[in-house]
Chains A and B, each alone.
Chain A
Amino acid sequence: MQYQLKINGETRTVDAEPGTPLLWVLRDELQLTGTKFGCGVAYCGACTVHVDGYPTRSCQTFVEDAVDSEITTIEGATDKVAQAVQEAWREKDVVQCGWCQSGQIMSAIGLLTENPKPTDDDIKDYMNGNACRCVTYVRINEAIKLASQKLEA
């Protein structure tokens, strides 16, 4: 089947079997490999993209259900909030292996878009769904606070 997807502001046509998770369309068909595969059961958050502005697990989003939506991946995360988050991530040297970080960043952008001044508990609650095996959580939370300050300034 052919599907037209709106990804990072562009319309892309892909050939995929119905029921294919958006994750594999992004990675294998469109080479948007910044979105990562971690568990395939929406339990780790490595595959998080934005669908119509909301952080969404692409491993549990079928390609046919994504056709009418605006999809943003880490490669297309360039707005003001995204820039603040990415800059904060670099200043705090958050990353270790890096595999979960695209998903962490897409979730953090979602948080700060909804709630520009999150409390510590807001951050922990919101980021609970994104697992990091290297355990960079302390720095993730510091970076989100720093990004929040950057956006306020």
Chain B
Amino acid sequence: MNINVSRRGFLKASAAGTTALLVGINAKGVLAAGSTATAATDLNPFVKIDADGTVTVIIKHFEMGQGTTTGLTTLVAEELDANWDTVVPEFAPADVERYKNLFFGAQGTGGSTSIANSFMQYREAGAAARDLLVRAAAQSWGVDASTITVENGMLSSGGKSGHFGEFVAIAATLSPVEKPAVKTPDQFKLIGSDKLHRKDNTGKTNGTAMFAMDVNLPGMIYAAIIRSPKFGGTVVSFDDSAAKDVGGFIAAQVLPNKAGVVAFGKNTWAAFQARDALSVEWDFSAAETRSTDAMIADHVALLDAPQFDANHEVPLASVTPILEGAAKTIDAQFTFPFLAHAPLEPENCTIEPVGDGVRVHDGCQFPTLTRPMVAATLGIDPSKVEIRTLYAGGSFGRRANAASDYNVEAAMAFAVSGRKVPVKLVWSREDDIKGGYYRPMSAHRAKIGIDADGKIVGWDHRLATKSIAKGGPFEMMVQNGVDPTSVEGVAESLYTLPNMGIGLSDFTTAVPINWWRSVGHTHTGFVMESLMDMVATETGQDPIDMRLAMLDPSGANQARMIEAIKLVREISGWQKGDKRGFAAHFSFNTCVAVVADVTVEDTTVHVNKLFMAVECGVAINPDVIRAQMEGGAGYALSAIFRNEVTLTDGEVDQYNFPDYELLRNPEMPEIEVAIVSSNNAPTGVGEPGVPPTGPAVANAIFAQTGKRILDLPMTKAGFDFV
């Protein structure tokens, strides 16, 4: 894939040849078309068609492996009736007006929204381009447009035919229709096809795909940073005399925010070696100094007196008398650790001086944050910050944070270097594991009242966790003190749960936290589906039948969930009294149901097979959906089995993969994914596979052993995994 993301470069490259057709939205936000020459001031395109017939789809989202380059390309190619093999994706520049996520109003990727927010926009751009080409061909051939057919990148009428490129010069002079007609689902050829291969397949199998860490610029120097060993500490002084013995060491400087000291080297290794040789005196007066056990205890204490009611219709206090009158109650308390995202490409960012501004080379997840944050750090106007988005070697949420932490670090390093040469900041794996921005720690406590008939009559649910949104640019998400990412998955459960009160407390710590693949659902999904299993056990009901009875089919999402649950029951051959585990969870507008088959010998667990059924609306790329379910499940297993970031006196105990062990090849279960056939608008797939996997496995372990797992990771309950 040719990654040429600078707007100037993009237009110049087009102008070097003959005219190209661009279709996108103009500054007024409406569909517009033009040639490269006329469009230069007003149009950043979604589609570019060159005179040789090559179709370029401009990808407004970044690619961290979730398949956006393939998905957005499919949407355009479908409506264009393009030849799939000649369509290429290219990442968009930073331009919030044209390339905003329609769900966020900001340019960024997250919440499993890339396909969902782009579904109509990219199809309409493709349909508009197709219409322009048809009208251009009609004009060129002197025939009526209605006689023209389009297939596989070719236009035909009677005996005449020609490829897209032959008509771009005329098409670029025409005006696009205001609202192009898009296909009906029965007309789809590429959407829903299992024959399309990923667009990033070749580059990622022959070493040519360009990731941010692969950037190499003339005169570039390398930077590594020593950060406070306790979160929130600041530099008092440092000594670089030992670093001076490191070959290739250039200099060391305190970062302007005093959060660390940067060592510059002639290559990555020199920067790492020099950084490790620095001796720094820290001020820990504002730092987190607690250990994990104390932090867990502090979370649990917060459950006693919740600060906010997350369900205004049912205040927590109103549930207490109902529970007192219940025939019996189920009580459970859960705790969850900090988790590192650990994308396999450690965080890195290169800042290159360009004229009176800079170019940021990054696997950039959120240009709308990165651009102003880098600009502010350097004291320049955001318009002087160009972002070159490259492939991201994973993110799972890590790269989109309110602080734009590693982008800002790179900008600070560039600033103190003198701003003359490109600076590449590289994190080591130790930096990544110890560096914060974790999935927040959390604790839940639930008391569920059940009547004599086994029906739920009341539910007191309390949770404590650090808010992701508060105190930053995402603060506007907070309503009445409740950060929705803290309670999602409990607060909008699809089940009919009478008298459910939800109490929330915000935990405070200097440990930086962030969204981690599926965000709040990482813990709420585990808690809710474990509790549902406990209710089924306590009342002697089949876990699947019980859930189906608690889903009201008149609700649109409940109806979708019923479909997913029935499908997983079918493919897994689930029977009453089954000794496997079941869980289902709704997140990011998608329903996923899972059956887990495990073997437990003494305390050793092997997950043999996972059956997953997903309702995610119309399946754009079914194989990408299956891949995301497989990956989401595996990501969850790694976490629930054994991953945790712990602290001793405020310092992270883990250092690298040997003690933050990722799921390994032999541990991955067999997996069967089924997709509910649907013509609903597409919904997310990157995250929703994570939440139900953990509780399905936990419920399977319970079915086999009678042991309920309440504190994660599962190694705490004495289990190990093979």
What residues of chain A have their CB less than 8 Å away from a CB belonging to chain B?
A: 17, 20-21, 24, 27-29, 31-41, 43-44, 46, 73-75, 86, 89-91, 93-102, 105, 123-125, 127-128, 130-141
Contact = CB atoms under 8 A, between A and B. Distances in A.
A141 B67 CA distance: 20
Interface in B386-433: 391-396, 426, 428-430
A41 B315 CA distance: 52
A44 B657 contact: yes
A148 B571 CA distance: 30
Contact of B627 (A21, A33, A96, A102): A96
Query: Could you say which of B210, B668, B670, B671 has the most chain A C-beta atoms within 10 Å of its C-beta?
Result: B668
Contacts of B272: 40
A46 B345 CA distance: 9
A15 B471 CA distance: 48
A31 B665 contact: no
Contacts of A141: 665
Contacts of B342: 133
B646 interface: no
Contacts of B637: 135
Contact of B394 (A32, A86, A97): A97
A24 B271 CA distance: 11
A24 B429 contact: no
A85 to B, nearest CB: 8
Given A73-B207, A97-B343, A99-B211, A138 B429 contact: no
A89 to B, nearest CB: 5
B641 interface: no
Contacts of A27: 214, 268
A99 B345 contact: yes
Given A95-B205, A140-B665, A133 B630 contact: no
B631 A136 contact: yes
Nearest to A29: B267
B1 to A, nearest CB: 11
Contacts of B200: 95, 98
A133 B664 contact: no
Contacts of A32: 207
B680 interface: no
Contacts of B657: 38-39, 41, 43-44, 131
A32 B272 CA distance: 20
Given A98-B203, A135-B668, 12 more contacts: A37-B213, A74-B206, A96-B627, A97-B63, A97-B343, A97-B393, A100-B344, A124-B666, A127-B665, A128-B664, A135-B634, A139-B630
Contact of B344 (A17, A40, A99, A137): A99
13 contacts: A17-B269, A20-B269, A33-B211, A36-B211, A40-B428, A73-B207, A95-B65, A95-B205, A96-B394, A99-B343, A124-B665, A134-B344, A137-B668
Interface in B146-204: 197-198, 200-204
B631 A86 contact: no
A39 B204 contact: no
Given A41-B429, A44-B662, A127-B665, A97 B345 contact: yes
Nearest to A86: B205
A34 B394 CA distance: 16
Contact of B204 (A24, A37, A91, A95): A95
Nearest to A133: B344
B197 A134 contact: no
B394 A133 contact: yes
B508 interface: no
Interface string B205-228: 111111101101000001000000
Contact of B267 (A28, A93, A96): A28
A135 B269 contact: no
B658 interface: yes
Nearest to A123: B665
A141 B209 CA distance: 22
Interface string B661-705: 011111010110000000000000000000000000000000000
B248 interface: yes
Nearest to B247: A17
A120 to B, nearest CB: 10
A44 B627 contact: no
Nearest to B196: A93
Interface in B245-273: 247-248, 267-270, 272
Contacts of B463: none
A133 B637 CA distance: 11
A15 to B, nearest CB: 9
A115 B395 CA distance: 35
B508 to A, nearest CB: 30
A100 B663 CA distance: 14
A26 B343 CA distance: 22
A138 B607 CA distance: 14
B64 interface: yes
Contacts of B63: 97
Contacts of B623: 93
Contacts of A24: 267-269
Nearest to B394: A97
Contacts of A135: 630-631, 633-635, 637-638, 663, 668
A125 B664 CA distance: 10
A138 B204 contact: no
A127 B205 CA distance: 17
Nearest to A1: B247
A28 B201 contact: no
Interface string B428-454: 111000000000000000000000000
Contacts of A40: 272, 428-430, 656
Given A28-B268, A138-B668, A97 B391 contact: yes
Contacts of A91: 197
A131 B668 CA distance: 11
A44 B661 CA distance: 10
B346 interface: yes
Interface string B61-101: 00111110000000000000000000000000000000000
